[in-house]
Amino acid sequence: MALQDSSKVLIGEIQGLHGIKGAVRCRFYINHIKDIEKCSVFVDEHGHEYKVLEMIPTRHRENFILKINNIISADQAEKLRGMSLYVKRQDLPPLQSNEYLYADLIGLKVLTVDEKDYGRIISVHNFGAGDILEVQLKATTKKVLIPFTNDAVPEIDLIKKTIKINEDFVPIVTGQEEKV
């Protein structure tokens, strides 16, 4: 996959085809699906645009069936399987206060509330019970998971590219074992 630049935001992935007329199944990684329904053009990692003719919701909240312009056969749709879908950043609706894009969090320096350097955010996950920050610890290969809640992460400064975490939520890492 090509490196994602800051002008576009990863929002989903084509998981496979749907039927024989070129429709595809897509999973979106965004909380506000209603905002995605307003998007009519998606971009792949190489910048190629795909105009969406129709978005059909499925039983699963984050999944949709997409009908894409000029994709009219199962063979064409199959070639799109696994393709990451992006939107241009300027096409996204404005974020509410205290809302962040995963793309903006990845790479931020993680500090404890008392300014100790803890590491860097390398990924953000959501397994169904809320967002979790994956942090690469400073000067080590160890990684820890921290809940992305107001209690655990009281401060985010995108200008300084830092977040502060409450030490009550910082796993104690010693040798081979981790204590929480």
Question: What is the per-residue pLDDT for 87?
Answer: 87
CB 82 within 8 A of CB 14: yes
User: Which CATH topology does 102-171 take?
Assistant: SH3 type barrels. (2.30.30)
Question: What is the per-residue pLDDT for 173?
Answer: 58
CB 123 within 8 A of CB 179: no
The string of pLDDT tens digits covering residues 78-119 is: 999 999 998 888 887 777 888 888 888 999 999 999 899 999
Please, where in the chain does CATH 2.40.30.60 lie? 8-90
Please, where in the chain does CATH 2.30.30.240 lie? 102-171
Give the HSE-up count for residue 100: Cα atoms under 13 Å, Cβ half-sphere: 22
Alpha helix segments (H runs only) across 96-162: 102-105
Q: Is the pLDDT of residue 5 over 70?
A: no
Q: How confident is the model at residue 31 (pLDDT cuts 50, 70, 90)?
A: low
Q: Is the pLDDT of residue 1 over 50?
A: no
Class of domain 8-90: mainly beta
Phi-psi region of 3 (alpha: psi -120 to 50; beta: other; left: phi over 0): beta
Structure letter (DSSP) for residue 90: G
Average pLDDT, the chain: 84
